[in-house]
Structure 1
């Protein structure tokens, strides 16, 4: 049984220290890498989870939906004495392919002594029915590179070779101060740790607001891997992080450029059509915790905010030299 407590991810100063991915073997053609094969893997995700959402976005954009199957866990964590995800959305409350009730089962199959949180995204080898990769930081770049033989002919290049170093550098900042920054606010257990994370988060959002004042996307005219990573936090900001994680200096809609940019992505296939606001609210107001123990019946899910603004035309095309949002992938 997996029994991790929140304290294992809280440092002495009260700051949140996210656990590292335990299954980080890359996909590729080398002997020590995971083989890239059609229909060998199942991607498990949770609609409210930003880390798994970005894997689902990239999978859809690149046309890998017929290559890697998809399983989804309930946004509300199960009422069990451990941190877990359940397949209660499926018939018989079990994954229809793997037959398991809880995500932790796939982790303990891979490592009977696994003591971390069972996390999504998780790539499951359908031959062994075990987790083989849960490295949210590199999974999408693997999809964009070594999985290229299975991309659609019209698939875009989200990770252009000439921009990879710059994308990686920006991704590091986005991860540390924005993607994970909201969690550092929400899970901090000291005032000092919370305020440090809060200040850094809004400093970075202001920098990104200025960056997007003169260009449509983070690297100019085309969507890249970096945009996927930023989007998944922005789309959750006003509905969850602003209140639930006390990231409440400004809302996303208070940043004209970030707000327009996020809407530009939202209306792009792969982004808005994989975004589930109701699941996001359910998770962050009921289940966003690292240790079990809350009474779900006493928690009220906010009715707002008003989401109609996401469908308003962002009108950012004038910042681009092309109407296309993607640079088409070329072998």
Structure 2
């Protein structure tokens, strides 16, 4: 989610993507893809990397954003609060994109003193023309963005800072990676991103095309969770974390705001049980701020919700 610099001016898109001429939502690729490794050796795909150090890095997030929420959950599960401080944007995203304007729950930027996230992108790369999205993993030493791709940031956090925490948790274990990747691919394409493809569609036929596989995947997940607590290997993995941040927002936001209203998570017993159990795990519960999420979506997306009215319900049992 973010905005875009065009010819020196800031343009807000309301999401990390845009609707094309055919009415379909297209998501933009992340731009900053360096890695952090324990000793500074190259990342998994030979990516340029910097060394993990206590106090060197800073995490910028929005409580509203499901992609940023992934990083917050990993940070909490691994107990990296002291190692990796966090700043939190305001929930309302309009002309300036994500900002640090005063508001409940906002944590300002202590490093560069910026008022809007896009200013960090400009500091990192004065020629930046990408969308200023969260999460952002910032290198205070080099004054630049290390990574703004959530799927990579959570893998960085799961192992790269192990020297600074007593928590032994690997959410992407070698023996389960193939199955985790398969689950991630389907969930991302049809559900994580699927809610946006349905919600930001500007033509009826596009909306109907995108919403159908979304509910096929929810049914598939409901069946997969019959008699088991986790998606892969009977243990908590990144597949669960990547799915959870969408499930948490589904009934309160995507069901109505994005017209994904064939069924609710509450109507699916296994998924509902799974969502509540993970959401009420203390390390995850502390990262959930549904007030920010609801206010962001309903107040920021004026093309979808012109009045900006935020629904008072539903009762979710978390957040």
Please give the range of the TM-score, normalised by the shorter of the 2 chains: 0.7 to 0.9
Change (3 A) 1:112 1:48: same
Q: Contact between 1:3 and 1:115, CA under 8 Å: does it hold in 2?
A: no
Partner residue in 1 for 2:28: 19
Partners of 2:168 and 2:116 in 1: CA distance: 34
1:198 equivalent among 211, 214, 237: 211
Partners of 1:304 and 1:282 in 2: CA distance: 12
Partner residue in 1 for 2:161: 147
Give the paired residue count: 303
Question: What is the Cα deviation at residue 155 of structure 1?
Answer: 2.9
2:141 equivalent among 120, 123, 127: 127
Partners of 1:47 and 1:272 in 2: CA distance: 12
* 1:139-162 deviation digits (Å, cap 9, x = unpaired): 101111333323x32332222221
Partners of 2:270 and 2:105 in 1: CA distance: 43
Question: What is the Cα deviation at residue 184 of structure 1?
Answer: 0.6
Query: Are 1:30 and 2:41 counterparts?
Result: yes
Partners of 2:106 and 2:169 in 1: CA distance: 38
Change (3 A) 1:215 1:91: closer
Q: Contact between 1:2 and 1:104, CA under 8 Å: does it hold in 2?
A: no
TM-score (norm 2): 0.87
Structure 1 moving runs of 4+ over 6 Å: 90-93
Change (3 A) 1:46 1:30: same
Partner residue in 2 for 1:259: 272
Structure 2, unaligned stretches of length 5 or more?
Answer: 1-7, 43-47
Show the 5 A alignment for 1:178-217. 178-217=191-230
Q: Secondary structure at the match of 1:99?
A: coil
Change (3 A) 1:141 1:24: same
* 1:243-277 deviation digits (Å, cap 9, x = unpaired): 11111110110111100000010111222221111
Question: What is the Cα deviation at residue 280 of structure 1?
Answer: 1.0
Partner residue in 1 for 2:110: 96
With a CA cutoff of 8 Å and minimum separation of 6, indicate the structure with the bigger relative contact order.
Answer: 1
Question: What is the Cα deviation at residue 215 of structure 1?
Answer: 1.0
Structure 1, unaligned stretches of length 5 or more?
Answer: 312-331
Partners of 2:208 and 2:99 in 1: CA distance: 30
Question: What is the Cα deviation at residue 94 of structure 1?
Answer: 4.5
Q: Secondary structure at the match of 1:27?
A: strand
Partner residue in 1 for 2:131: 117
Question: What is the Cα deviation at residue 86 of structure 1?
Answer: 3.0
TM-score (norm 1): 0.84
Partner residue in 2 for 1:74: 90
Question: What is the Cα deviation at residue 30 of structure 1?
Answer: 2.2
Q: Secondary structure at the match of 1:9?
A: strand
Name the structure with the higher strand share.
2
Q: Contact between 2:59 and 2:136, CA under 8 Å: does it hold in 1?
A: yes
Q: Contact between 1:46 and 1:72, CA under 8 Å: does it hold in 2?
A: yes
Q: Contact between 2:300 and 2:308, CA under 8 Å: does it hold in 1?
A: no
Partners of 1:45 and 1:242 in 2: CA distance: 24
Partners of 1:34 and 1:139 in 2: CA distance: 13
2:75 equivalent among 59, 63, 80: 59
Change (3 A) 1:263 1:286: same
Question: What is the Cα deviation at residue 63 of structure 1?
Answer: 1.6
Question: What is the Cα deviation at residue 37 of structure 1?
Answer: 1.4
Partners of 2:99 and 2:183 in 1: CA distance: 31
